[in-house]
Amino acid sequence: MTIVIGFEGSANKIGIGIIRDGDVLSNPRRTYITPPGFMPSDTARHHRAVILTVLKEALEQAGLKPADIDCVAYTKGPGMGAPLVTVALVARTVAQLWGKPLLGVNHCIGHIEMGRLITKANNPTVLYVSGGNTQVIAYSERRYRIFGETIDIAVGNCLDRFARVIKISNDPSPGYNIEQMAKKGTQYVELPYTVKGMDVSFSGILSYIEEVSHKMLSSGQCAAEDLCFSLQETVFSMLVEITERAMAHCGSQEVLIVGGVGCNLRLQEMMGVMCKERGAKLFATDERFCIDNGAMIAQAGWEMFRSGQVTELEDSWITQRYRTDEVEVTWRD
């Protein structure tokens, strides 16, 4: 029996989760919401203020004491510097206090391993989409290899910044509110579509929509709901396209969507249609696991720990940039 506690706080969500051999015992989380967007030092301050409370919750909800924990996992990166440091500091401290080994986990791999655990997908093509990342990943020879990605900004970043342009609320998240508004959209507005090989680009569509939305909304040519709808249809089509290309390239019959944008039901629906036409299976999780959370770090940590990995104190730094393919996946063949 192996019990791992995971600490996650690379962006505006601070979560601590506990996993015991594939069971999520607890997974509390807090989200820092502030218009127009979140700044590193304020986010770190938010995390510092709540982290010990969340830690208590995690242990209490799991019905465990520190002595029961086998390993302390934390997000090594990628992400925002100040929040990462805040969380790593607490993880290092409790690891030493409790006398438990530490494990620095790659945030993206946390998402992938949680997705695999929850959905039981065998060897899927992974679409990882969030505010900070957009990658198409497939496992091969001990690495999670990046087959396609954004060459500029992440899709979630594009959506969040558009939300700011049309001034919609950040509560519970800008992406969620865009999704709700898009459901009421009726008119399709043509927007730039940019796929380059297996990669995508979103800065063009963002600058275009930032420029024209003002004009279109004030002239009454279309409603904000129509722009939300059109933006989703366009960027999601781009994501489905590069996922399909990777699947064709790898001969894969499974798709797993992870990351905050993966909560979006329209994206899941479109991916489902593509999968159905290819005879492939779609796997997705809900907002408990799509959105950054502590349990995903615990799960990746559980895999790493069981395959013999440990992070020494002097190596327990954090890094803002950490490519998914930098990690040796010692727990898979």
Partner 1 sequence: MAQEDSMAVPEFLSKAELLKQGAEARVYRAHFLGKPTIVKERFPKRYRHPALDEKLTHRRTVQEVRSVLRCRKAGIPAPVVYFVDYTSHCIFMEEIIGSSTVRDHIMSARQSDSCKELELERLAERMGHILAKMHDEDVIHGDLTTSNMLLRCSLENGESDLVLIDFGLSYISALPEDKGVDLYVLEKAFLSTHPNTEALFEKLLKSYTAASKKSSAVIKKLDEVRLRGRKRSMVG
Residues at the site binding partner 1, with contacts judged by CB under 8 A: 10-12, 77-80, 107, 130-133, 145, 147, 149-154, 156-157, 188, 190, 193, 195-199, 233-234, 237, 240-241, 244-245, 247-248, 260, 270-271, 273-274, 277, 292, 320-323
Least spacing, CB of residue 133 vs partner 1, in Å: 6
Please, which residue, 201 or 311, has the CB nearer to partner 1?
201
Q: How far is the CB of 293 from partner 1 (least distance, A)?
A: 13
Integer Cα distance of 278 and 249 in angstroms: 13
CB of 332 to partner 1, least distance (A): 18
Residue 189 to residue 166: CA distance in whole angstroms: 16
Q: Which is nearer to partner 1, 69 or 153 (CB)?
A: 153
- H/E stretch holding 18 reads strand 13-20
Q: Rounded to the nearest whole angstrom, what is the least distance from the CB of residue 193 to partner 1 in the complex?
A: 6
* β-strands 29-31, 13-20 pairing: antiparallel
Residue closer to partner 1, measured from CB, 153 or 227? 153
When the beta carbons of 18 and 44 are compared against partner 1, the nearer one is 44
Q: How far is the CB of 74 from partner 1 (least distance, A)?
A: 16
In terms of C-beta distances under 8 Å and separation of at least 24 residues, what long-range contacts does 114-119 make, across chains too? 114/258, 114/285, 114/289, 114/293, 114/295, 114/296, 114/299, 114/300, 115/256, 115/257, 115/258, 115/283, 115/285, 115/289, 116/256, 117/22, 117/299, 118/285, 118/289, 119/256, 119/283, 119/284, 119/285
Alpha carbon distance 20, 28 (integer Å): 16
Whose Cβ is closer to partner 1: residue 12's or residue 285's? 12
Please, which residue, 103 or 154, has the CB nearer to partner 1? 154
Angle at 220 between CA 216 and CA 223, to 5 degrees: 75
Q: How far is the CB of 195 from partner 1 (least distance, A)?
A: 7
